[in-house]
Structure 1
Amino acid sequence: MMIVTTDTIAGAEITEVIGYVKGGTIQTKHIGRDITAGLKGIVGGEIKGYNEMMDEARKLAIHRMVEDAKKKGANAIVGMRLQSSTVMGSAAEIIAYGTAVKILEK
């Protein structure tokens, strides 16, 4: 499945716009990550545990968006975006969304 952040795909013709597709997940912090984050807050630096958590969350949200698009008969997604928000003190939500389309590659 081709996924782009643009509204068009170079070298392909959009033959049908299917519509909005999305995927999301809510991830919570691990206690070990919280302890590390607290220490990094004091001394500064990258919080690798959080980076790994958010990377996994983005991959899962995109995977779920692709599954939504496949169910609707799409073979591409245009205008893909990622959004994150804090659900509560220890949890973050990641949403991937875009427009499912059918394309004909030239």
Structure 2
Amino acid sequence: MILVNTDYVSGKEVETLSIVKGSTVHSKNVGKDLLSGLKTLVGGEIVAYSEMMNEARAIATKRMVKEAEQLGAEAVINIRYATSAIMQGSAEVIVYGTAVKFK
């Protein structure tokens, strides 16, 4: 599966199938959340949250790819990510794009 954030795949003519998406909501456990809160006092990267967001993006992307594969897509173009806070310490990640086949 080819994944790109452009609206084309270089050298390929595409047939649009449908918009596809994947999402997940992730949170850290209370212990890590408290430690991360203390980190805000001194500044710097909050590694636990960086890891959480990387994991969430990977899961959301996998779900989007699965949806595209079910349509018989060969690529997903124009991919975009968005995040939103659901509550303190948790976030939703959604990824979406256009599933296409090559002509």
Output the TM-score relative to the length of structure 1. 0.92
CA distance in 1, matches of 2:32, 2:76: 34
What's the counterpart of residue 97 of structure 1? Answer: 96
- Stretches of structure 2 that go unaligned for 5 or more consecutive residues are none
Deviations 1:14-57 (A, max 9, x none): 1x100110000000122232122111111111100110010000
2:3 is equivalent to residue 6 of structure 1: no
The runs of 4+ residues in structure 1 deviating greater than 2 Å are none
Please list, as runs of the form range in 1=range in 2, the aligned pairs for 1:44-59 lying within 5 A after superposition: 44-59=43-58
What's the counterpart of residue 79 of structure 1? Answer: 78
Deviations 1:76-103 (A, max 9, x none): 0000000000112232000010000002
CA distance in 1, matches of 2:62, 2:29: 23
2:29 is equivalent to residue 25 of structure 1: no
Question: Cα RMSD between the aligned structures?
Answer: 1.0
CA distance in 1, matches of 2:87, 2:35: 19
* More deviation, 22-31/60-69: 22-31
Percent of residue pairs identical: 48
- For the residue of structure 1 that corresponds to 2:7, the secondary structure is coil
CA distance in 2, matches of 1:85, 1:33: 20
Output the TM-score relative to the length of structure 2. 0.94
In the alignment, residue 47 of structure 1 is paired with which amino acid? I
